[in-house]
Amino acid sequence: MTGTVSLPKWENEQALYHTRSEATMQRMNWAHGVLEPAPEIRETARTLGQLDGIFQNASAWRAMDPGIVVYRVQAWCPLVEGVEGGLFWGTTLVEPGQVDSEYFMTHGHFHAKRDRTEYYATLEGEGALILMDESRKTWTEPMTRGSVHFIPPRIAHRVANCGSVPLRCVACWPSDAGHDYEAIRKSGFGAQLLNVNGEPKLVPSRT
């Protein structure tokens, strides 16, 4: 017989999925974005010490306790990372704080597959989504409770907390997006978000 191609059934793709049947459902507290612990939920914490070269004022960064947690991520990855066609879901909590006048923020990345996009939505706190294109043009979108953000293809992204309480946001991204941190470690963003007289201001990075 020719001309028929049957797609594999979900059950036949099990090798691509984590095996527990509950892996297709989780529970999240929508006030805080906290996901209930489960084997498929990966939890990571990034400390100041792990964010070498990310903040502009290196001597102010060195003078601070490297054990301070800057942000935490809970990621629900029900598929094996790299599989095409799936989605991941995660919550990021950025603590309030500054390194000199620069707000605490996430490392930031381009997606390894540059055309992969993402949604972010703010649950609590005040901050900014910092975006940068491949020509290093950098801009921000304000993040407040209820803001929803679409991150277009080929745009690096990071989140800064400009307030006095934790900034909590959820994100949804393709399972084959991947993360390119190297590009940011090497050249950073084109601008830094600084507290200038109590207001967030995007200031071009020193080169």
Site residues (CB under 6 A) for ligand PAN?
A: 73, 90, 92, 106-109, 118, 157-159, 171, 173, 177, 179
Query: Minimum distance from CB of 120 to Zn ion (Å)?
Result: 8
Which residue in 172, 198, 184, 175 sits closest to 89, CA to CA? Answer: 172
Min dist CB 28 to ligand PAN, Å, is 14
Q: Which positions from 101 to 130 touch Zn ion by CB under 5 A, shown as an x/- string?
A: -----------------x------------
Least distance to ligand PAN, CB of residue 182, Å = 12
Q: What is the DSSP letter of 12?
A: G
What does 113 bind: ligand PAN, Zn ion, none (CB cut-off 5 to 8 Å by kind)? none
Specify whether the CB–CB gap between 22 and 39 falls below 8 A: no
| For ligand PAN, the closer CB: 1 or 153 | 153
The sign of the CA dihedral 112, 142, 106, 187 is positive
Minimum CB–partner distance for residue 68 and ligand PAN (Å): 16
Tokens of 76: 């629900």
152 vs 99, 106, 134, CA distance in Å? 29, 18, 12
